[in-house]
Amino acid sequence: MSMHLCTFFRWILRIVLTLVSGIGVAALINASCWSGYRGKLTLLAHRGVAQILHGSVDLYTCTASIDLSEHSLLENTISSMRAAFDTGADIVEFDIHRTTDGQFAVFPHVPG
């Protein structure tokens, strides 16, 4: 290998190591563990209070059964969202879809 090629690879190696080191130092300096800020913890309830499903659930079939012995609430209903707030949730997330007649409806997540 020629002397010029070895020098070139050494310079490339130095540049790469400098970049990697710089990124590492920047990540450490920017890490939130160094900050004195401690924000309020926010509890988000996904679709309110939900039931436990037993069985097989996938994109194409659902042979699951809902275990109603836990409680009578179903996800994405007003009562399940109120129950989530009553048990300490700060935010309730739910899915809204527009129907073909222009109305809005709350549905479980529909892929695609």
If you average pLDDT over residues 81-97, what whole number do you get?
89
Q: Flag whether 39 is in a domain.
A: no
Claim to verify: residue 50 and residue 74 sit in the same structural domain:
yes
In the chain, the amino acid numbered 64 is: A
Which of 93, 73, 91 has the alpha carbon at shortest distance from 83? 73
Which residues form the domain of 11?
Answer: 3-34
pTM (two decimals): 0.48
Q: Cα separation of 62 and 50, whole Å?
A: 16
Phi–psi pair at 77, nearest 5 degrees: -115, 155
Claim to verify: residue 48 and residue 98 sit in the same structural domain:
yes
Claim to verify: residue 84 and residue 55 sit in the same structural domain:
yes
Q: pLDDT by residue (tens digit) across 15-58?
A: 999 999 999 888 888 777 677 777 788 888 888 877 766 666 66
* Number of domains the chain contains: 2
Q: Flag whether 112 is in a domain.
A: no
- pLDDT at residue 112 above 50? no
Enter the tokens of residue 90.
Answer: 């700060």
